[in-house]
Structure 1
Amino acid sequence: MLTTKMNPRVFWGASAIAGALLLLALIAPSTSDLIFGAAQAWVIDTFGWFYVAVVAGFLLFVTVLAVGPTGRLKLGPDDAEPDFPYVSWLAMLFAAGMGIGLMYFAVAEPVQHYIAPPEAAPGTIDAAREAMVITYTHWGVHAWAIYAVVGLSLAYFAHRKGLPLTMRSGLYPLLGKRINGPIGDAVDIFAICGTLFGIATSLGLGVAQITSGLNYVAGVPNTVTVQVGLIVVVMGAATISVLTGVDKGVRRLSELNLILAVCLMLFVLAVGPTLFLLRAYVQNFGLYLDHFFVRTFTLYAYEPRAWMADWTLFYWAWWIAWSPFVGMFIARISRGRTVREFVIGVLLVPTAFTFLWMTVFGNSAMGLDLGIAGGAISDAVQADLSTALFHFLEYLPGTAITSTLAVALVAVFFVTSADSGSLVIDTLASGGAEETPRWQRIYWCGLLGLTAALLLLAGGLGALQAATLVAALPFAVIMILLAFGLARQMDADLKGEAIETEAPPIRERLKRIFAPASRKDIARQIERQGAPALVEVRDALVEGGLENSRVEMDETGVWLVVEHANGRDFLYRIGARSRPLPALTALEAPEGRRALEWRMTAQTGDGTRARDVTGFTRAQIVADVLEHLQRWRLAA
């Protein structure tokens, strides 16, 4: 019998919706292509302005959070240290956020805008300048601001407030306990569906480019059958990676990704017009800043054109559809960082690298097309975007080696997107559980591959893009609510600070040093000491007339909630927290992961540091709760 750790309503609800859409694509591919296309046209025509407005609003929102007093708040207890080194953190941000897209569009997008710009004359110097400004806009801080809204909300409520790492947790300040009902289930289901179709789009782009590369390097036929076969192979590798978890498989592949990408970029920079590319990098950035506000709000309302839907609006919808995946993933890896550090890291560092990447490949491609290529690169882009990178590499030394490296890089990006996405979806469907049975991770990894394969069969990349645009719309509304909830909670946390309680008894601390507790040990303490203590306090509060007091329990712990008329509810949560043991420990971790030490922690809703209460008796926990209740009552 299979063991499970899931929220059944979310798990099977999302599976049913995805299954229904995939069944339609399988039974009637031409009909599903028409349906997806009609839905895309309606969304763009009706809500294009909405996408542009909310993306601008998200960028303003996270910027204000970073530069204001909220920037000093930490994503976790006040003494928390980051879980991953800075370079590893940035590598995972980069690989999960935009990997396949950077490979696919590095040459194709600048050249496409160069030969068919929205405003400038095609094939001119002005068109080249405009091409890079547009490319920077699509791949710059706007995209990462979308990710930052979701990631910051999830990280804040999960790591600092002690709520489950699920999308619904960010709505707690707005909905309270109702997040555990149908509304919360619907939010998580939307997030899973958006993630499925968003990642499926990227996988579709990736497999198209891999087959084009294999066709160029080894003469492998570039057919849909080959593409589906590649999806099966690469998803098999992603399954192996996802079973090893974030700390090993995903992290190591992300670091490998970054190394390979930097090597390829430095090679092109070195053998190409190096000084010109460096000058272009600086000038492109200046042009980007000069056109920043115009491009942010451009809708071509006075001179409508299809270009807007094909490019900018597609990108904004793509990033929004990806935001549950990338936001959840960066939230999971960002514990211990401040809000300011998070926003600066997420917005600026990957953007700077992306700009350099696009300059090296885009400006080199346009220069070659004007020179020795004689328009061949432009012709390749117009014929098939997925072949653009390989036709570009033809005009550089070591074509066979660089093309092979490019294929390998796309494949690794493919794996990192799939394994990271599977972990995120599994977390959403499991109520925020950090560890889940193997079969659940395999299930979601397989469903991702099946989604990409069937949508390719249904209508190619057009169907994938249309599904992404449609899936992004409801989640954009959810993101607005997440922003309001995050702002409300941060404001409440800044207005009151609680005093920390003393550390656990010395005997308990010594015991944990020499015999670290397992997760089962802590779960047993919560069941025998923590939960009864909170129930005892709740019963006393109800007897005293505070009937709006309750105790709730989920997979992550148990919490006491006392509602207040002014909205500043009292929250006392007892849960289990882990941290990696030193590498020299003799303890072995399950599934090859790093060994963990588990502790029972208590945290109040004011966002102060989680207190270690491992080994506390029931009476000690009751006393701690009463002490914090008194402080909350005086502050309220």
Structure 2
Amino acid sequence: MSDTDTTTTLEPSSDFEVGQDNIQVMGLDVHNPVFFVSAVIIVGFVILTLMFGEASSAFFSWLRPALTNMFDWPLLMAGNVFVLFSLALVVTPLGNIRLGGVDAAPDYTYMGWFAMLFAAGMGIGLMFFGVSEPLSHYASSFGGAVVENGVRTDWAPLAGAAGDADASRANAMAATIFHWGLHPWAIYAVVALALSFFSYNRGLPLTLRSAFYPLLGERVWGWPGHVIDTLAVFATLFGLATSLGFGAEQAIAGLNFLFGIEITGTSKIILILLITAVALCSVVAGLDAGVKRLSEINMVLAFVLMGFVLIAGPTMFIVSGVFENTVAYVKEIIPLSNPFGREDTNFMQGWTAFYWAWWISWSPFVGMFIARVSRGRTVREFITCVILVPTVVSIIWMSTFGGAAIDQVINQGNEVVANSDQAVMLFEMLKSYPMTQIASFIGIVLVIVFFVTSSDSGSLVIDTITAGGKVDAPVAQRVFWATFEGIVAIVLLIGGGLGALQAAAVATGVPFAALLLLMIWSTYKGLMEEHRLLKQV
């Protein structure tokens, strides 16, 4: 049975053609009006933020806590729905459906595929939060929830005994893994699966509007579709700018730690400009020569750095921690996911709600990128690899870096690493090990290359959306978006620092969460129709 054998009532009309609404402007192949509306609004945002710097800073400082306070429980509930839907597909007959048709073969090996998943999904975040988040939770109620007679007397989600170092470590690591495990990757998987299925099995363009065809029909080619794609552009750009801001903060902190380069607003701007220039070179090189090659290099460097920490650090402490942390994560995932009856508002709003909004804002970018490289996989293989494999890697990564940092606090009395700025915590931890300069330099290179691959991949995705789903649009368009990704990151850093970047991600992630919930229903309808047809063959 070939792709052309699967004509259903869910397919577009026969006169549909990818990019049919595109127009040629100055050598660009753009989708009207998505490109122009997105570009004009983003350019206007940059100008207004620069013009009203103090007002912008105050606004962004207010925006993030206001949104996370208001939408904390809807975001947590949405995250749970994404996980349950994804896992359900693995154990149902729908998992047998192959993306691209029964005869489709994968375009990439498992190694190349995993490398691109790892680099695109959350590389900068793992570097930035690998040390800082476990230490933050260890210093909070997770590191010493009060338990009397076996009953928890406060509402910290995890039950740890005050003064019990092992329980405190496991609690802190479980809370950390919760933010980097099943939930974020389920968000990515939902978007990537929808895009893959409707593009490869239904012949629709590789853009967000296509995932809503079963619900909207031919209206996806009109204003409803334009609105969906425009929201996807904003979510991608601001979610990506947040990650680039984190990367710039950590890279400049590392350069200061290693070479004494002064940390100023100007140095951050120069660094972002230089890395964006490198990203532009990768953009011109193309997907296989650019992103794929850099992703594989980055994966090797990441495992080298993690192996170094494992060997040079408290090896048995880390190894035993991997198993203990995994058990704690599995045991506590339901309490951590519960948005009701909780008084630990800092964890739910300051951490989880922000993370879920950030991952959701990233989902068009990561989801479309995963879809681009996942043709030929079955739904079951796709979900298993996209969710479970990265979750395992995240557990090992966080247990290694977070465990090593907590060991320095518990057993070595290293208060410096615990009290340092988040961006420099990784380098302060590495200071206690041999070959500090080499390890720190590898860490800086990792952050920079993650920055490059994220910028390159993000420009590829935004370009595809604004070109109406065309995957071979002119390189000049990707150059345009890669440039503006860097500019938006710079403007937000000027207009309020990391808080402004986080506020922008949350502001785009909240409305996009509603779209993703509708996307689940649309994807289910499409997969059920495909399953029915396959049974008839």
Please confirm whether the aligned pair reaches a TM-score higher than 0.5, indicating the same fold.
Answer: yes
1:278/1:457 CA distance change after superposition, 3 Å: same
Counterparts of 1:232 and 1:16, CA distance in 2? 22
Which residue does 2:19 correspond to in 1? none
In the other structure, the counterpart of 2:180 is: 139
The SS at the match of 2:141 is coil
- 1:208 paired residue number: 249
1:305 and 2:349 aligned: no
Q: Any idea what the Cα deviations from partners look like across 1:542-570, whole Å, max 9, x if unmatched?
A: xxxxxxxxxxxxxxxxxxxxxxxxxxxxx
Cα distance, 1:123 vs. partner? Answer: 7.2
Deviation at 1:452, TM superposition (A): 0.2
Q: Partner amino acid for 1:114?
A: Y
Q: Secondary structure at the match of 1:489?
A: helix
Deviations 1:109-151 (A, max 9, x none): 1011111235725875233221101011000010100000000
Deviations 1:303-334 (A, max 9, x none): 25333222111111110010000000000100
State the 1:292 CA deviation.
1.4
Would you say 1:377 and 2:401 are equivalent positions? no
Query: 1:480 Cα shift?
Result: 1.0
Asked if 1:152 corresponds to 2:193, the answer is yes
Partner-residue secondary structure (3-state), 1:303: coil
Matched with 2:274 is 233
Shift of residue 286, structure 1, vs aligned partner: 0.6
Letter in 1 for 2:183: H
Letter in 2 for 1:378: A
Structure-to-structure mapping, 1:180-199, within 5 angstroms? 180-199=221-240
1:5 aligns to what SS in structure 2? strand
Q: Which residue of the other structure, out of 429, 432, 441, is the alignment partner of 1:395?
A: 432
Distance 1:134 1:416, change over 3 A: same
Counterparts of 2:535 and 2:413, CA distance in 1: 67
Deviations, residues 200-226 of structure 1 (Å, cap 9, x unaligned): 000000000000000011010111100
Report the secondary structure of 1:311's partner residue.
helix
Is residue 425 from structure 1 mapped to residue 462 from structure 2 by the alignment? yes
Structure-1 separation of matches of 2:263 and 2:60: 25
Mapped to 2, the partners of 1:119 and 1:358 lie a distance apart of 16
The 8 Å contact of residues 68 and 350 in structure 2, kept in 1 or not, is answered as no
Cα RMSD of the aligned pairs, angstroms, is 1.5
Are 2:150 and 1:113 aligned?
no
Structure 2 vs 1, CA of residues 361 and 498 (structure 1 numbering), >3 Å: closer, same or farther? closer
Shift in CA distance, 304/375, structure 1 to aligned 2, threshold 3 Å: closer
C-alpha distance in 2 between matches for 1:419 and 1:59: 28
Establish whether residue 355 from structure 1 lines up as the match of residue 395 from structure 2.
yes
Is the CA contact (8 Å cut-off) linking 2:195 and 2:207 kept in structure 1? yes
**Other-structure match for 1:31:** 55
* 1:23 CA drift (Å): 2.0
Q: Is the contact made by 1:115 and 1:127 (CA closer than 8 Å) also made in structure 2?
A: no
Give CA deviations for 1:59-98 in whole Å, capped at 9, x if unaligned. 0011111210110001102101001111100110000001
**CA distance in structure 2 between the aligned counterparts of 1:304 and 1:273, rounded to whole angstroms:** 32
Q: Is the 8 A contact 2:106 2:376 kept in 1?
A: yes
What one-letter code is carried by the residue in structure 2 that aligns with 1:456?
A: L
Q: Which of 145, 148, 168 is matched with 2:209 structurally?
A: 168
Instruction: Confirm whether residue 442 of structure 1 aligns to residue 479 of structure 2.
Output: yes
CA contact (8 A) 1:197 1:467 kept: yes
2:386 maps to 1:346: yes
For 1:351 and 1:450, locate their aligned partners in 2 and report how far apart those are by CA, in whole Å. Answer: 32
Name the residue aligned to 1:601.
none
Which has the larger share of helix?
2
**Aligned residue for 1:580?**
none
Instruction: Give the counterpart letter for 1:110 in structure 2.
Output: P
User: Does the C-alpha gap of structure 1 residues 498 and 66 become closer, same or farther in structure 2, counting only changes over 3 Å?
Assistant: closer
CA distance in 2, matches of 1:138, 1:248: 32
Give the match for residue 297 of structure 2.
256
Counterpart of 1:101, as a letter, is G
Listed one character per residue, the Cα deviations across residues 407-458 of structure 1 (whole Å, up to 9, x for unaligned) are 0111001101100000000000001111111211110000100000000000
1:12 Cα deviation from its structure 2 partner: 1.0
- Out of 34, 49, 74, the position equivalent to 1:50 is 74
- Residue number among 88, 95, 100 corresponding to 2:119 in the alignment: 95
Gapped regions of structure 1 (runs ≥ 5)? 501-636
8 Å Cα contact 1:329-1:420 kept in structure 2: yes
Corresponding position: 1:453 with 2:490: yes
How far 1:378 moved relative to its partner?
0.9
Supply the distance in 2 between the matched residues of 1:42 and 1:373 (Cα, whole angstroms): 37
2:159 aligns with: none
Separation in 2, partners of 1:210, 1:401: 15
Residues 143 and 169 of structure 2 are in contact (CA less than 8 Å); yes or no, is this contact kept in structure 1? Answer: no
Counterparts in 2 of 1:254 and 1:113: CA distance versus 1, 3 Å: same
Tell whether 2:371 aligns with 1:331.
yes
Q: Do the aligned partners of 1:201 and 1:461 also contact (CA within 8 Å) in 2?
A: yes
Correspondence for 2:85: 61
In 2, the alpha carbon distance for the partners of 1:497 and 1:262 equals: 42
Q: Distance in 2 between matches of 1:37 and 1:14?
A: 24
Whether the 8 Å contact between 1:426 and 1:440 is mirrored in structure 2 is yes
Q: CA 1:96 to 1:123, structure 2 compared with 1: closer, same or farther past 3 Å?
A: farther
- Distance in 1 (CA, whole Å) between partners of 2:464 and 2:103 is 26
1:289 paired residue number: 330
Where do residues 582-621 of structure 1 align in structure 2 (5 Å cutoff)? none
Letter aligned with residue 314 of structure 1: F
CA distance 1:387–1:124, shift in 2 (3 Å): farther
Distance 1:227 1:69 in 2: 51
Distance 1:25 1:370 in 2: 44
Distance (Å, rounded) in 1 between the aligned partners of 2:522 and 2:178: 28
TM-score, structure 2 normalization: 0.90
Q: In the alignment, what sits opposite 2:105? A: 81
Query: Given the alignment of the two structures, is residue 268 of structure 1 paired with residue 309 of structure 2, yes or no?
Result: yes
Alignment CA distance shift 1:15-1:123 (3 Å): farther
Structure 1: distance between partners of 2:414 and 2:297: 35
Higher alpha-carbon Rg: 1
Q: How far did 1:498 drift? A: 8.9
Match of 1:489 in 2: 526
Offset at residue 372 of structure 1 (A)? 2.8
Deviation of residue 474 (structure 1)? Answer: 1.2
Amino acid in structure 2 at the alignment position of 1:468 = A
Going from structure 1 to structure 2, the CA distance change for 1:124 and 1:242 (only over 3 Å counts) comes to farther
Is the contact between residue 83 and residue 187 of structure 2 (CA under 8 Å) also seen in structure 1? yes
Q: Give how far 1:19 is off.
A: 2.1
Distance 1:60 1:21 in 2: 37
Answering whether residue 515 of structure 2 is matched by residue 478 of structure 1, we say yes
- In the alignment, the residues of structure 1 paired with residue 244 and residue 117 of structure 2 have an alpha-carbon distance, to the nearest angstrom, of 18
| 1:217 equivalent in alignment to 2:240 | no
Give 5+ residue unaligned stretches, structure 2. 1-24, 146-161
Of 303-312 and 417-426, the range deviating more from structure 2: 303-312
CA distance in 1, matches of 2:485, 2:263: 22
Report if the CA contact (8 A) 1:373-1:395 is conserved: no
Secondary structure of 2:343's counterpart equals coil
Q: Which moved more, 1:173-182 or 1:108-117?
A: 108-117
CA distance in 1, matches of 2:404, 2:519: 41
Amino acid in structure 1 at the alignment position of 2:378 = T
CA contact (8 A) 1:281 1:355 kept: yes
Distance 1:450 1:22, change over 3 A: same
Q: Distance in 2 between matches of 1:497 and 1:86?
A: 27
- Paired positions, count: 496
How far is 1:302 from its partner? 4.4
Q: Distance in 1 between matches of 2:378 and 2:474?
A: 32
Can you list the C-alpha shifts for 1:484-513, whole angstroms capped at 9, x where unaligned?
11101111122224989xxxxxxxxxxxxx
Is structure 2 residue 447 aligned with structure 1 residue 414?
Answer: no
Amino acid at match of 1:269: L
Describe the superposition over 1:256-289 as per-residue Cα deviations: whole angstroms up to 9, x where unpaired.
0100000000011111121221111011101111
Q: Which amino acid aligns with 2:169?
A: A
Identical aligned residues as a percent: 43
Amino acid of the structure 1 residue aligned with 2:489: A
Per the alignment, in what secondary structure is the counterpart of residue 6 of structure 1?
strand
